[in-house]
Chain A
Amino acid sequence: AQSVAQPEDQVNVAEGNPLTVKCTYSVSGNPYLFWYVQYPNRGLQFLLKYITGDNLVKGSYGFEAEFNKSQTSFHLKKPSALVSDSALYFCAVRDMGSARQLTFGSGTQLTVLP
């Protein structure tokens, strides 16, 4: 079975400071990893993915994530947070070798304070 853990329900950061949203995963094989963002009353929007290759993945809106196989982590980062980054962030995983559906974490509410 595949699973995702987002250990922080809420992350607060001041505008202009770096932000990190944590994610750890568990799969039986090699993972496909994703970050999605959800704004109020909106669907989930894709930010970035790791399939293979470089462990540092760059995505939309200046976000990046680092795949760490030994720690089974895929933390989302941004060097300088914006107030408009405030939203609900979801990490998701799919086992490359088996089920086609994504398993999502419970989400982390990011609040960027002006």
Chain B
Amino acid sequence: DTGVSQNPRHKITKRGQNVTFRCDPISEHNRLYWYRQTLGQGPEFLTYFQNEAQLEKSRLLSDRFSAERPKGSFSTLEIQRTEQGDSAMYLCASSSSGGSSGANVLTFGAGSRLTVL
């Protein structure tokens, strides 16, 4: 397993366009997270899945944002009608659950950097 994979790594778009990011987590991890990181800040939680169920959503996740994990494996994060304030690094992470020593430890992907012009 090569870890958490995110695509695309960079996306430049014009204001008002829609963008979609994909995350492929570590295969045996049933939990998947999306975070947003802006320059000089720590990652901010957006949403969380356990298997295919979206269990938590941050207030940061406006109506223009939607995330899915249809089969409990990969996930997509879509941003509709992008705004310049959406420019950020979008990070995906995954983790296992239960009593294993790896539980609670998030493994992050390299991120997808969005620039909205």
Measured CB to CB, the residues of A under 8 A from B are 4, 32, 34, 36, 41-46, 49, 51, 90, 92, 94, 99-107
Contact = CB atoms under 8 A, between A and B. Distances in A.
A60 to B, nearest CB: 12
Given A41-B110, A43-B109, A43-B110, A100 B43 contact: no
B45 A103 contact: yes
Given A32-B104, A42-B110, A107-B42, 15 more contacts: A4-B42, A43-B91, A44-B43, A44-B91, A44-B93, A90-B42, A99-B56, A100-B48, A101-B45, A102-B106, A104-B44, A106-B41, A106-B42, A107-B40, A107-B41
Nearest to A6: B42
Given A101-B48, A104-B42, A43 B4 contact: yes
Interface in B60-113: 91, 93, 104-111
B104 A49 contact: yes
A34 B33 contact: no
Contacts of B109: 43
A59 to B, nearest CB: 11
Contacts of A102: 33, 45, 106
